[in-house]
Amino acid sequence: MSTFFVNGPSSFAVRGRSYGPPSPEPARERRPRRWPVTSAILLLVALAAWQLAGAAWIHAKAALAQHLIASAWEGTKSGGPARPWPWADTHPVARLTVPSRGIDLYVLAGTSGRSLAFGPGHVDGTALPGSAGNSVIVAHRDTHFAFLRDLREDEEIDVEDARGRRTRYRVREVAVVDKHDTRLLDPADSPQLTLITCWPFDAVQPGTSQRYVVIADRA
């Protein structure tokens, strides 16, 4: 016959052998929490996606604006300055094409940030594109004037003015200058086209201290 003794609330004996509470399991090795690393990775991915979306929107906006400006350009040639959209504070003053590069752009009056978001801007006080003197046009390096980095000497640039007259220019010089070099705005004795954008082209931050310049003379 088996002998059963109750030794207390947490132990017992069977056939003289004592049984106590089960031994506690050895503590498991704690693994480092991975959520901070995962969160950081997700945050970086989200920031990268946001940056890419912002860049895509800038390019889409610039492309769409040029289509709207094209309609305003036809109106400008037939009846005087026409705004590309009702709230615009600018209007197209010229059409600039580079046949060898497949470039076709409409140049807006003025160089305010609002204008340059939608197209190249003509610098006030310089000669109008296609007329005598130095006509200066500026644009952003990552949108409308991104093609300047590939433009070479002797390539041709065509400009159409508001009267429908066309002037052909040939690139004479390509240079990088300090942004404070105001000689780029000096008048010229003969028809000259000066195209300016920020440099370097692959800079991450805006507002660089140097400018990339293309100077062309009437052919």
**pLDDT tens-place string over residues 108-141:** 999 998 889 999 999 999 999 999 999 999 999 9
In a domain, 200, yes or no: yes
Q: Is the confidence at residue 42, as pLDDT, over 90?
A: no
Residue 204 belongs to domain with CATH number:
2.40.260.10
How many CA atoms, within 13 angstroms, populate the side-chain half-sphere of residue 167? 21
What's the pLDDT tens digit per position in 134-179? 999 999 999 999 999 999 999 999 999 999 999 999 999 999 999 9
Under DSSP, the state recorded for 132 is: S
Q: Is 154 exposed, middle or buried (0-12, 13-18, 19+ CB in 10 A)?
A: exposed
Residue 204 forms part of a structural domain: yes
> Can you read off the two tokens belonging to residue 59?
């390019």
In a domain, 24, yes or no: no
Lowest mean pLDDT among 152-156, 183-187, 205-209: 205-209
Per-residue pLDDT tens for 57-91? 566 666 778 888 999 999 999 989 999 999 999 99
The strand pairing partners of 215, in sequence order, are 173, 194
Give the pLDDT of residue 206.
74
Residue located via tokens 């132990």: 11
Please tell me the number of Cα atoms within 13 Å of 114 on its side-chain side: 9
Q: What pLDDT band is residue 11 in, cutting at 50, 70 and 90? A: very low
Measured CA to CA in angstroms, residue 188 lies from 57, 62, 165 at distances of: 38, 31, 20
How many domains, in total, are found in the chain? 1
**Domain interval for residue 160:** 36-218
In a domain, 2, yes or no: no
Q: Is residue 197 part of a domain?
A: yes
Percent with pLDDT over 70 in the chain: 71
Residue 96 domain-assigned?
Answer: yes
How is residue 96 written in tokens? Answer: 């600039």
In a domain, 14, yes or no: no
With respect to residue 28, please indicate whether it lies within any of the assigned structural domains: no
Q: Say if CB 84 and CB 75 are below 8 A apart.
A: no
CB of 197 closer than 8 Å to CB of 138: yes
Question: Mean per-residue pLDDT for 173-194?
Answer: 96
